[in-house]
Amino acid sequence: MYPDLKLNRIILFGSILSPDYPWDRIHSNGQVEAVLNERSPSDVWPRITKYCIPDSGPSGVSGFTQGKAFITDKEFQWTGHSGLQYELHCRRSWVPFLLGHSG
């Protein structure tokens, strides 16, 4: 999967990737160091995209089956699909993660 693409840290929220996304292979290839997956059980979009978009899935609701050692999975009960897009959350969660201070 795009072997020349290398990213240090990735933030996902409301993700529509498949829960079986091959994170272990991507990580072992040196393509990603860490992933922050922020998800919500009340997010409807990850649940329905599999009917419209091939190979998509509800990782924004259920998380991933691979990458347990380098994926930080945070669940937010109160938010829907885009409820985390605000400055305070970005400062408290995303910026420290991107700087490698938290995970």
Q: Where are the domains of the chain?
A: 7-98
pLDDT recorded at residue 46: 84
Divide the 103 residues of the chain into consecutive groups of 10 and give the mean pLDDT of each group: 89 94 96 95 85 92 95 82 70 93 67
Q: What is the pLDDT of residue 16?
A: 93
Q: For 84-94, b where at least 16 C-beta lie within 10 A, e where not — what string?
A: beeeebeeebb
Which pLDDT score is estimated for 42?
85
What is the per-residue pLDDT for 97?
Answer: 96
pTM here is 0.86
